[in-house]
Amino acid sequence: MREALRLAGLAVTLLASVLWALLAARTPTTTYHVVPLMVAAAWPAIDGSIGAGLTQRRSVNAALGGFVLTVATATILGVKGDLDGPTLWLTQGTGAVLVEHVAFAAVGALAGFIHAVRMAGTVPGGERASRASGAVAAARSRLVWGVGTFYRPGMPDLLVEKRGHVMIATMNRPQRKNAMTLQMFGRMRDAWKEASDDDDIRCIVLTGTGGDFSAGMDLRSLAGDADEHDDWDVKGAMAEHGAAWIYEGLTKTYRPTKPIIAAVEGVAIAGGTEILQGTDIRIAAESAKFGVSEVRWSLYPAGGSPVRLPRQIGYAEAADILLTGKHITAAEAKAMGLISRVVPDGTAFEHALEVAEIVAGNGPLAVEAVLRTMHETSGMTEAEAWAHEEAYANAVMQSDDAKEGPRAFAEKRTPNFQKK
């Protein structure tokens, strides 16, 4: 439906432009020349918002803002030229008029499209609506988010926002497939600590811009090829904490008390797969790729994979990935148990946010207690794990929320949990 709407809009736009061009050639006035520019330039702004996958209010705002930009651009160009001077050579004949319209409309349309894409860039993860699956959708996702970030210079390499009870952390280096830097690790550590300390946050979504999750550590950055300035104080953190904060950011030595849901598009290679193992629910697009390829470059995967991966997917599968450095598909990762769900390309964030809202709607004390038990009992015997969980279970069952849940069920209403 979305693709049909875009194609129909484009066809109508082109037809309107040609008809107005024919009319303008017979009635050479400024009005007749400016109006078709507005018509021809307006659609790409709307198309930009549809392609960016914005939803509801943001989509309307993007389309209206883009339309204003296109109209303003076309009007300024048309009135300033007044179809004389610099543009006179284009106004000789119907074909030339059409060329003039296309030229003006292209400028206006670019302004509108950039506006729509920048609107998309204000939403980490994109609120991307469902799009056609496969390579076309993946390419569109990369195009939209690459352009959106390109026109938003100076943004940090990790964007953090709070939406209701959900924290959204978005890796934001699309020009390098969200390759990780020390500054990004620092911001991740800060985000995880903030989520743990904030009782209003009940779940976290981790994703990336530009159609990719993360290509791992930025080796060029380590080699001194840093492509941007960052004001996060790496030296200060090193002086105060040593290198411990790096592994906390990677979720190797610290995991927040709130569940992390990973939304994976594109590549999740090396550090991308390593940090994935520190998340709890993992949702991946069909064309996503995974792998821990450090050995190919004579590096050690210090983000935890040699220990975690065999425990999560089994020794033989882990050895095959870790020792060959091979990459695997989303379907293979799902079969191994590395990820939770596979969804159509371009929809991983949308699905992750839906799951996050479900988790956030559950009893927060119960969710945190279950999560701690899962994190802390790995490697214990069953008897040891049951003894360990007893204190968590008792605390939850004695809480006010444990009374509110059954009461709400009996009264057929949504429970109002207070984390008490």
* Region at 110 (left for phi over 0; alpha for psi -120 to 50; beta for the rest): alpha
- DSSP notation for 237-251: HHHHHTTHHHHHHTT
SS3 of the chain: helix, strand, coil, percent, to 5: 60, 10, 30
Is the Cβ–Cβ distance between 147 and 114 less than 8 Å?
Answer: yes
| Cα distance from N-terminal residue to C-terminal residue, the chain | 46
Catalytic residue, candidates 294, 317, 368, 389:
294
Catalytic residue among 248, 265, 274, 286: 274
CA 75, CA 91: separation in Å to the nearest integer?
Answer: 16
| Residues, the chain | 420
Residue 208's nearest CA partner among 267, 138, 153 is 267
Alpha helices in 315-381 (DSSP H): 315-324, 330-336, 348-361, 364-376
Q: Which run of H or E residues covers position 158? A: strand 158-163
Give the tokens for residue 302: 């210090």
CA dist., res. 142 & res. 148, Å (int): 10
274 is catalytic: yes
Clarify whether 382 is annotated catalytic: no
The neighbouring-strand residues paired with 268 are: 214, 290
Helices (H), 86-134: 94-121
Q: Which residues are annotated as catalytic?
A: 274, 294
